Amino acid sequence: MNKQLFMLSVITSLIAGPVHAKIEVSPNSLMIVKAAYGQASQGKSISAQQAARIVKNKYGGKVLKVSNSGSKNSPGYRVKLLKDNGHVISVFVDAKSGRVSGH
């Protein structure tokens, strides 16, 4: 019941407030992050830590390395991950959209 009230108060504050925000949910936490509509078109990009978090949330395992990749027109990160099954994968995360590709 308390969790439902909390979620209702978060949603209400997001709707009523002038600041745009999004909710990021991971298995053990809930974060409210400031965001702007059309973020990608404003030239903002995600950080290396955010790219690592996106890949870890999608595939699980342990992040081994994050490096800058891509070009000026298409920036991104190469994330190397050790999966729980022992396989090492390397994926590309688009810095503007946060999309993961190359598994």
Give the mean model confidence (pLDDT) for residues 7-28. 56
Residues 69, 100: one domain?
yes
The reply to whether the predicted model has a pTM over 0.85 is no
Residues 28, 67: one domain?
no
Per DSSP, helices labelled H in the chain are: 2-16, 48-59
Residues 100, 57: one domain?
yes
In sequence order, what E strands does the chain have? Answer: 21-26, 29-34, 62-70, 75-82, 88-94, 100-101
CATH number, domain of 69, equals: 3.10.450.40
Residues 48, 31: one domain?
no
Q: Which residues pair with 30 in a beta bridge?
A: 25
Q: Which domain holds residue 26?
A: 1-35
pLDDT tens, position by position, 47-101: 999 999 999 999 999 999 999 987 888 899 999 999 999 999 999 999 999 999 9
Q: For residue 40, which of 81, 69, 67, 76 has the smallest C-alpha distance?
A: 76
Instruction: Give the integer Cα–Cα distance in Å for 103 and 96.
Output: 19
